[in-house]
Chain A
Amino acid sequence: MNHQPIVAHIPGLRRYARALTGDVWAADDLVQDTLERACSRWRLWSAGTDLRAWLFTLMHNLFIGQVRQGLTRAKLVPTVDLDDVEHELHAPDTSTDFAIDLQRCLLRLPDEQRVVLLLVTMEDMAYEQVAKITGTPIGTVMSRLSRARERLRELMDESREPSVTRVAANPTPVLRRMK
């Protein structure tokens, strides 16, 4: 039985949600919803199973629900982030720069690919566990992982070009919306 209290899982959930949604507030909302659902479904959690995996499953289902209803804020979030990007582009902190680039490229991946990639890399989960959490066959997990890795590689290669041409050459739909 996993005796780690739920509180101990919050930082990990927040981090994953942040990478998933690309937004601090949307991420914390998602964590909040996950914890609320954990309260209402507590009896469905069988003791002895992995609490972390259960919480991630709840969060995944909530996130996919939001995506299906078109409620996901991931698409809207960069509008907020881009303001920061404008400043960060001139900022000396290259690591922050890089993180923003990486997050931006992540958000351009299809949701189901981003989910798999993050669970495998950021959360270091086994493929079987990812299959369970996302409720998809392992073959689907592997092909999504392949596509996610290749697509992110392309996107990051593009974004590694000089920053002036980068913004001009790769306008995201969000950038267009802002102009």
Chain B
Amino acid sequence: MTKSMNADDMHSLVDQLEPEEQRRVIESLTPQDPQAAQTVAAWSKQRVELSSLHLDALKEPIPSSLLQAANRASDLQLALERHWRHVGVAASVLLAFGVGWISHGQLSNQPESSIALAKGRMEHEFVRQAGFAHSVYMPEKRHPVEVAASEQDHLVQWLSKRVGKPLKIPKLSAMGYELVGGRLLPGESGARAQFMFQNEQGSRITLYLGAINPQTDSANETGFRYEAGGVAPSFYWTDQGVGYALTGQVDRERLMAIATLVYQQL
């Protein structure tokens, strides 16, 4: 091995170049560094030999015990995929329904029942407050949050206590968002918490949540509902007595995907 070509170079040559190119490099390398050329040639030959070893194993019929185990794993895979797909479909159905319902409510002004009206008003109010909180704190440069992400444990504990429900902070790094921090806000029916996330481009989204009034909500879980009428688009849903609104200037599909990610984790 010489200064001109180190071992890593030789590996890359052998593993990444087409045989034609390899031959050319070996030829041109031979006069100046015969030893390296020899090594590359030997490794290259070795690679060809190893890649033709046990090729018969690829054509043999698969033993039934292996097939059974693979099928079991596949069934589990399918079940899991179906689960996620179901969550996705349910969400988009509810999304379509929700958009229709909201516009219907706004246009006809004649909801089916007073419970639905109360519920609709409560939800709308929740989302409106979430949007308001979003618009207030989202642009804030110096104090966007009360408790920074670095004190996550403390933040969760503190907010859980104030909101009166055990809270969890979702991880949204899969969608490119990191937690900035959280703050406590007053809400119509008790304290609300706001978590702020930011992506690399500096775009911020907020997750607003709080216990909902059981009288108007009747503890029913609500699927995702989209509201684009406020200051920024929001997805709203409820789960186990807690209302959530995810708000941000993000296109609907992306916001939906983030909301799904949050939903999966809470």
A15 touches B58 (CB 8 A): yes
Indicate if B158 sits at the interface (CB-CB under 8 A): no
Q: Which of A38, A118, A127 contacts B50 (CB 8 A)?
A: A118
Indicate if A10 sits at the interface (CB-CB under 8 A): yes
B46 touches A149 (CB 8 A): yes
Indicate if A167 sits at the interface (CB-CB under 8 A): no
A145 to B47, CA, bound (A): 12
A15 touches B54 (CB 8 A): yes
Indicate if B72 sits at the interface (CB-CB under 8 A): yes
Indicate if B43 sits at the interface (CB-CB under 8 A): yes
Indicate if A5 sits at the interface (CB-CB under 8 A): yes
Indicate if A43 sits at the interface (CB-CB under 8 A): yes
A118 surroundings in chain B (CB, below 8 A): 50
A124 touches B51 (CB 8 A): yes
Chain A contact residue count (CB 8 A cutoff): 40
A127 to B9, CA, bound (A): 13
Indicate if B77 sits at the interface (CB-CB under 8 A): yes
Interface digits, A113-132 against B, CB 8 Å rule (1 contact, 0 not)? 00001101110100100000
Given A42-B76, A142-B8, answer yes or no on A102-B70 (Cβ-Cβ < 8 Å). Answer: no
A156 touches B11 (CB 8 A): no
Of A27, A28, A145, A149, chain B has the most CB atoms within 10 Å of the CB of A149
For the residues of A in contact with B, the DSSP-based class is helix
A145 surroundings in chain B (CB, below 8 A): 11
Chain B contact residue count (CB 8 A cutoff): 34
Interface digits, A126-162 against B, CB 8 Å rule (1 contact, 0 not)? 0100000000000000100110010011001000000
A36 touches B53 (CB 8 A): no
B69 touches A12 (CB 8 A): no
A12 touches B62 (CB 8 A): no
A15 touches B57 (CB 8 A): yes
Given A15-B57, A99-B53, A121-B47, answer yes or no on A7-B7 (Cβ-Cβ < 8 Å). Answer: no
A102 to B45, CA, bound (A): 12
Interface digits, A1-40 against B, CB 8 Å rule (1 contact, 0 not)? 0000111001110110011000000011001100110110
Shortest beta-carbon distance from B180 to chain A in Å: 25
Q: Which of B15, B55, B69, B84 contacts A120 (CB 8 A)?
A: B15
Q: Which of A7, A99, A149 contacts B74 (CB 8 A)?
A: A7
A36 to B71, CA, bound (A): 10
Query: Considering only CB atoms, which chain B residue lies closest to A3 in the complex?
Result: B81
A103 touches B53 (CB 8 A): yes
Shortest beta-carbon distance from B14 to chain A in Å: 8
Shortest beta-carbon distance from B167 to chain A in Å: 24
B116 surroundings in chain A (CB, below 8 A): none
Query: Considering only CB atoms, which chain B residue lies closest to A24 in the complex?
Result: B57
B63 surroundings in chain A (CB, below 8 A): 28
Query: Considering only CB atoms, which chain A residue lies closest to B63 in the complex?
Result: A28
B50 touches A10 (CB 8 A): no
A99 to B52, CA, bound (A): 9
A102 touches B77 (CB 8 A): no
| Given A7-B70, A14-B66, A122-B51: 19 more A-B contacts, CB < 8 Å | A7-B71, A10-B66, A12-B58, A14-B58, A14-B62, A18-B54, A38-B69, A38-B73, A39-B72, A45-B77, A47-B81, A98-B49, A102-B49, A121-B51, A122-B53, A142-B8, A149-B11, A153-B42, A153-B43
Listed from nearest, the 7 A-B pairs whose CB atoms lie closest are A35-B69, A15-B57, A121-B50, A42-B76, A38-B73, A11-B58, A6-B70
